[in-house]
Chains A and B, each alone.
Chain A
Amino acid sequence: MKVSGAEIVVESLKKEGVTHLFGYPGGVVLNLFDYLYDAKGIKLILTRHEQGATHMADGYARCTGKVGVALVTSGPGATNTVTGIATAAMDSIPIVVLTGQVPTMLIGNDAFQEADIVGITRPCTKYNYLVKNIDDLAPTIREAFHIASSGRPGPVLIDLPKDISAGMGTFNWPEKIQIRSYNPTVEGNKKMIEKAVDEIAKSKKPVIIAGGGVILSNASDELRQLAELTQVPVITTLMGIGSFPSTHPLSLGMPGMHGTYYANMAIQDSDLIVAVGMRFDDRVTGKISAFAPNATIIHIDIDPTSIRKNVHVDIPIVGDSKNILTALNEIVKAEQKTQWGQIRMAWLKQLDQWKELRPMSYTYSDSVIKPQYVIEKLYEATGGDAIITTEVGQNQMWAAQFFKFDKPRTFLTSGGLGTMGYGFPAAIGAQVAHPDKTVIDIAGDGSIQMNIQELATAVVYELPVKVAILNNRYLGMVRQWQEMFFNERYSHSGLDVVPDFVKVAEAYSAIGLRAERPSDVEPVIKEALKIKKPVFMDFVIDWKEKVFPMVPAGAAIDQMLFDEEEAPKKKESKKLKAVK
């Protein structure tokens, strides 16, 4: 029996378990939209920009572990998805983007709204397709979901020419898929795993660095078990935040450029690094030649290209984090000899000293709102039970530093690409997946303006997303660099006109609240959390506030700069200055 291409697409999506997709219509996808008009069991969220649609699909994917789906038209609709696709690619997020394309006959003719989106997205997708034969539609969609969600996940794009979605064909749904050229390694090498356990038992000063891969493979429980069994402290990269509870005594927080003093010191002093699902990004390692000079490195990652890309690795273990951590734990549990608590005592004591010496802190003011104070109050008001998204820049770093995350899939941030404008649509996507959860986008006044139009989406679908705008009237991170490294020449980092965000919210029929004094912060947050509508909270913050600690670009990660205004905590801090 022949059915329409549109039907094949939508029914295939349903077979893949898709209940929501994010999209925007246009000429060549009208048949698809027509089929969706009264399709049951699948709902399209109409966005206000295609970039918003991809970020929403991404946010949806990050907080659920499912594949997020976006559907847009050809040409500009397709090119508008590129930033969202690249964002997902850099952070290994499974999304499938369906783009319309001009009819097969016209491809290559510079037709109206034609763009070679397969060519454009080749370097920023895990894989992409142009469907030329309607009978290939269902198998292509099946394969796309498999590729997006297996191995190291990533975005997959399917380009659908108009005549394919409008034509008639056979619904060939393959129950099994076999791609001979694609077989990711998921089980770790046994010998390497045994060697890793030996190293962990031998080590006097070990650290675990957990990345986004732990979250992607749902390995948080296994990670926690390993840390507790072997008494190894855990550092979580920006992408790994939530993979290990921030409030756990063995947690050292984030490493790298804006990492904690104690995480960076621990890495530099360590004799063993167990890296799990992280890729030694330059923001983590700082000056690579001075990174963890004495450490043996065990690197667990599903992507062989991550291993030995940036740092030397002594024990590479390719495979899925969950499987490998499970195998490690089994060996550790069977091995009774090692007195883990005993052998770690000195190291854990040293870490406690560092924690005490330079805890994460800031100088509170009662005249002007400090952004860190806002984050702390958000944490208190929600009890940590919230999904937090961020934009990019100072807002992102303060959120990572001062909110505490105890569960995976609750901190959604564009770590790799660093996409301003990510957080708000990602929060909307998360709210679609979890209608009853508190979802908060921690934003800056610059970033929120990059996808502010999606407020209409939140209002229309009654998604009560909260946005905490840390409003300093600047592109704060750019300004910080200009102050510290460019002789205070603030070239184009001041946003001379910042809209009245309260009025903007009201213009979209949402709610706007403003806090101008520190005493306003708590009441505003509490009120916002009570409102079952989207709310913009405009926090007028200290524009001079900077993100600390900070490792200057190109320096080793123990060469941290601290807030000069902050009173030295202990005598030893003089010694720290000498380290710089």
Chain B
Amino acid sequence: MKRHTISVQVENKFGVLSRVAGLFSGRGYNIESISVGETLDPKVSVMTIVTRGEDQIVEQINKQLNKLIDVIKVQDLYDVDHVEREMVLVKVAPPQEQKAEVLRLTEIFRGRVVDSSPKTYTIQITGDESKIEAFLELVKPMGVKEFVRSGKIAIAREKSKS
């Protein structure tokens, strides 16, 4: 089982997300994360889908996505040099003596405190998955109340002409 990040260009119409999601649920493929947003061309959206499966299943997923009428282009980034980013918003309620430590970790991870209350900090961290996992591991013992992850977005690296 390999994990694939698939970038799917679709027509920006209502119902498209449900066609894509329905394809995965109807055929028993799993979605680890999905994120959708508009592109330079407002008539086009890009969905970044993270899925996992044997080669034959992933081949089917790519083909099935391509078969959907509203899908313009499917790019499996597995063998493509690309950048992946994810964002997490973490609400931490550390004990008084660990407040400074939370802020220090945030700095180390180049995060930002985006909201604070007398008892909590809401911290924004961006990065690849391992960075986010690492941050969560470190702050969990200090009292994480909740967190929300954006799901992955990815883009292929521009080929450098040398």
B103 contacts the other chain (CB 8 A): no
The residues in A between 294 and 338 inclusive whose CB is less than 8 angstroms from any CB of B are 303-305, 308-309
B15 contacts the other chain (CB 8 A): yes
For residue B11, which residue of chain A has the nearest CB? A181
B63 contacts the other chain (CB 8 A): yes
Could you tell me the distance between the alpha carbons of A200 and B72 in the complex, rounded to whole angstroms? 36
A304 x B71 contact (CB < 8 A): no
Total number of residue pairs linking A and B with CB closer than 8 Å = 33
- Which of A120-128, A279-287, A516-524 is the interface stretch? A120-128
A181 x B63 contact (CB < 8 A): no
The residues in A between 110 and 150 inclusive whose CB is less than 8 angstroms from any CB of B are 118-119, 122-123, 126-127, 130, 147
CB neighbours of B72 from chain A (8 A): 180-181
Point out the residue from B11, B26, B67, B71 that lies within 8 Å of A303, measured CB to CB: B67
A182 x B69 contact (CB < 8 A): yes
The residues in B between 4 and 42 inclusive whose CB is less than 8 angstroms from any CB of A are 10-11, 15, 18-19, 22, 26
Could you tell me the distance between the alpha carbons of A123 and B71 in the complex, rounded to whole angstroms? 15
A304 x B63 contact (CB < 8 A): yes
B59 x A308 contact (CB < 8 A): yes
Could you tell me the distance between the alpha carbons of A126 and B22 in the complex, rounded to whole angstroms? 13
A305 x B60 contact (CB < 8 A): yes
A147-B69, A179-B69, A182-B69 known; A122 vs B11 contact (CB < 8 Å)? no
CB neighbours of B22 from chain A (8 A): 122-123
B120 contacts the other chain (CB 8 A): no
CB neighbours of B18 from chain A (8 A): 119, 122
Instruction: Say which size band chain A's interface belongs to.
Output: 10 to 19
For residue B70, which residue of chain A has the nearest CB? A181
Could you tell me the distance between the alpha carbons of A304 and B11 in the complex, rounded to whole angstroms? 21
A118-B15, A122-B19, A123-B26 known; A305 vs B69 contact (CB < 8 Å)? no
- Taking the nearest CB of chain A, how far is it from the CB of B12, in angstroms? 11
B71 x A181 contact (CB < 8 A): yes
CB neighbours of A122 from chain B (8 A): 15, 18-19, 22
Main secondary structure of the interface of B (DSSP, over half): helix
B56 contacts the other chain (CB 8 A): yes
B64 contacts the other chain (CB 8 A): yes
- Taking the nearest CB of chain B, how far is it from the CB of A214, in angstroms? 21
CB neighbours of B59 from chain A (8 A): 308
Could you tell me the distance between the alpha carbons of A118 and B26 in the complex, rounded to whole angstroms? 16
For residue A304, which residue of chain B has the nearest CB? B63
Could you tell me the distance between the alpha carbons of A180 and B66 in the complex, rounded to whole angstroms? 12
CB neighbours of A180 from chain B (8 A): 72
Could you tell me the distance between the alpha carbons of A122 and B23 in the complex, rounded to whole angstroms? 9
The residues in A between 328 and 383 inclusive whose CB is less than 8 angstroms from any CB of B are none
CB neighbours of A308 from chain B (8 A): 56, 59-60
Could you tell me the distance between the alpha carbons of A303 and B60 in the complex, rounded to whole angstroms? 11
For residue A152, which residue of chain B has the nearest CB? B67
- Taking the nearest CB of chain A, how far is it from the CB of B49, in angstroms? 17
For residue B66, which residue of chain A has the nearest CB? A304
A126 x B69 contact (CB < 8 A): yes
Q: Which of B59, B60, B63, B66 has the most CB of A within 10 A?
A: B63
Q: Which of A118, A126, A304 has the most CB of B within 10 A?
A: A304
CB neighbours of A126 from chain B (8 A): 69
The residues in B between 56 and 90 inclusive whose CB is less than 8 angstroms from any CB of A are 56, 59-60, 63-64, 66-67, 69-72
Could you tell me the distance between the alpha carbons of A118 and B64 in the complex, rounded to whole angstroms? 20
- Taking the nearest CB of chain B, how far is it from the CB of A183, in angstroms? 10
Point out the residue from B10, B64, B70 that lies within 8 Å of A305, measured CB to CB: B64
For residue A127, which residue of chain B has the nearest CB? B69
CB neighbours of A303 from chain B (8 A): 67
- Taking the nearest CB of chain B, how far is it from the CB of A107, in angstroms? 12
For residue A303, which residue of chain B has the nearest CB? B67
A305 x B71 contact (CB < 8 A): no
Could you tell me the distance between the alpha carbons of A122 and B11 in the complex, rounded to whole angstroms? 16
Could you tell me the distance between the alpha carbons of A147 and B67 in the complex, rounded to whole angstroms? 12
Could you tell me the distance between the alpha carbons of A308 and B19 in the complex, rounded to whole angstroms? 23
Could you tell me the distance between the alpha carbons of A181 and B71 in the complex, rounded to whole angstroms? 6
For residue A312, which residue of chain B has the nearest CB? B56
Could you tell me the distance between the alpha carbons of A304 and B63 in the complex, rounded to whole angstroms? 6
CB neighbours of A123 from chain B (8 A): 22, 26
CB neighbours of B71 from chain A (8 A): 181
For residue A151, which residue of chain B has the nearest CB? B67
Could you tell me the distance between the alpha carbons of A253 and B71 in the complex, rounded to whole angstroms? 39
B69 x A309 contact (CB < 8 A): no
The contact string, 1 if C-beta is below 8 Å from chain A, for chain B 39-59, is 000000000000000001001
CB neighbours of B63 from chain A (8 A): 304-305
CB neighbours of B66 from chain A (8 A): 304
B60 x A309 contact (CB < 8 A): yes
Could you tell me the distance between the alpha carbons of A303 and B68 in the complex, rounded to whole angstroms? 12
The residues in B between 97 and 128 inclusive whose CB is less than 8 angstroms from any CB of A are none
Could you tell me the distance between the alpha carbons of A42 and B158 in the complex, rounded to whole angstroms? 56
- Taking the nearest CB of chain A, how far is it from the CB of B117, in angstroms? 38
CB neighbours of A119 from chain B (8 A): 18
For residue B23, which residue of chain A has the nearest CB? A123
Could you tell me the distance between the alpha carbons of A112 and B59 in the complex, rounded to whole angstroms? 44
Could you tell me the distance between the alpha carbons of A304 and B71 in the complex, rounded to whole angstroms? 15
Could you tell me the distance between the alpha carbons of A97 and B70 in the complex, rounded to whole angstroms? 20
Could you tell me the distance between the alpha carbons of A303 and B64 in the complex, rounded to whole angstroms? 10
For residue A181, which residue of chain B has the nearest CB? B72
A305 x B56 contact (CB < 8 A): no
For residue B72, which residue of chain A has the nearest CB? A181
A305 x B11 contact (CB < 8 A): no
Sample of 13 more A-B contacts, CB < 8 Å, known A122-B18, A123-B22, A126-B69: A118-B15, A119-B18, A122-B19, A123-B26, A130-B15, A147-B69, A181-B69, A181-B72, A182-B69, A305-B63, A305-B67, A308-B59, A308-B60
Pairs A-B, 8 closest by C-beta atoms: A181-B72, A305-B63, A127-B69, A304-B63, A123-B26, A182-B69, A305-B64, A305-B67
30 A-B pairs with C-beta separation under 8 A: A119-B18, A122-B15, A122-B18, A122-B19, A122-B22, A123-B22, A123-B26, A126-B69, A127-B69, A130-B15, A147-B69, A179-B69, A180-B72, A181-B10, A181-B11, A181-B69, A181-B70, A181-B71, A181-B72, A182-B69, A303-B67, A304-B63, A304-B66, A304-B67, A305-B60, A305-B63, A305-B64, A308-B56, A308-B59, A308-B60
